[in-house]
Amino acid sequence: MSEKSLLEIIRVLQEESLAWDVPVVTLIALQERNPFKVLLSTLLSLRTKDEVTIEASRRLFVLLQKPNDIFSVSESQIQKAIYPVGFYKRKSKVISDICRRLVEEFDSKVPDDLDVLLSFDGVGRKTANLVLSEGYQIPAMCVDTHVHRISNRFGFIETKTPEQSEMALREKLPKEYWNAYNTLLVAFGQKICRPISPHCSSCPVAGLCLRVGVEKNR
């Protein structure tokens, strides 16, 4: 697939997405451009459904409005607030450790540097890039399972892992589209371009997609 075709797909999806649900981290970012809250909600979203993440985030933000609030909150309180997100016990410890490090090393400010964010325990490339793109509006190529899968299904890239996809997309996709690309493909993947048996018959970009690896569709 050519860059021209992918940019046309992005244009069409931007129009169609006006009627779709916004991914949970994007929704939180739109409500308040707060890198700290974007970081916490992204951590909660890992291996967790959006509807669970949004409610857990709201409960957590009652306890933690800023990093130094951690000194008046116990780990058990965090666990109770974020349950039933996936791996909630592990995540409560990660959140606690991140808050303390932010206070002690960064004057309670979430770093706006990819490599520094990746130095935090529990922060992977997806989380770090989302903090940059949604929290700081810095161009960042965030690749989750939807972006990895659909970009390969389009035929725009040919990669085996999300990290390979991130690097390939950085090279091929103009930087001005990086931030929007993740939001669009997450919503598109949740609604239409499903992992198994995607809704190709109702897909607004079916005529542009090469359907790589699609054996069955609806």
pLDDT per residue over 114-165, tens digit each? 999 999 999 999 999 999 999 999 999 999 999 999 999 999 999 999 999 9
For residue 167, give the amino acid letter: M
- pLDDT for 30 equals 72
Q: What is the mean pLDDT of residues 181-191?
A: 93
| In contact, 110 and 98? CB cutoff 8 Å | no
For residue 94, give the amino acid letter: V
H-only helix segments in the chain: 3-16, 24-31, 35-45, 50-63, 75-82, 88-106, 114-118, 125-130, 145-154, 162-172, 178-191
- Asked whether the predicted pLDDT for residue 5 surpasses 80, the reply is yes
- pLDDT for 128 equals 97
| In contact, 87 and 47? CB cutoff 8 Å | yes
State how far the Cα of 130 lies from the Cα of 24, in Å rounded to an integer: 12
pLDDT per residue over 193-213, tens digit each? 999 999 999 999 999 999 999
Q: At 47, is the pLDDT very low, low, confident or very high (cuts 50, 70, 90)? A: confident
Backbone angles phi, psi at 108, to 5 degrees: 70, 15
- Asked whether the predicted pLDDT for residue 32 surpasses 80, the reply is no
HSE-up of residue 46 (Cα within 13 Å, Cβ side): 20
Give the list of residues 6+ apart from residue 154 with CB closer than 8 angstroms, or none.
Answer: 1, 6, 9, 208, 209, 210, 212
pLDDT per residue over 81-98, tens digit each? 999 999 999 999 999 999
Q: Calculate the average pLDDT of the chain.
A: 94
- pLDDT for 29 equals 76
How big is the CA angle at 35 (ends 73 and 143), to the nearest 5 degrees? 115
Domains along the chain with CATH numbers: 3-20+140-202 (1.10.1670.10), 34-135 (1.10.340.30)
- pLDDT for 24 equals 80
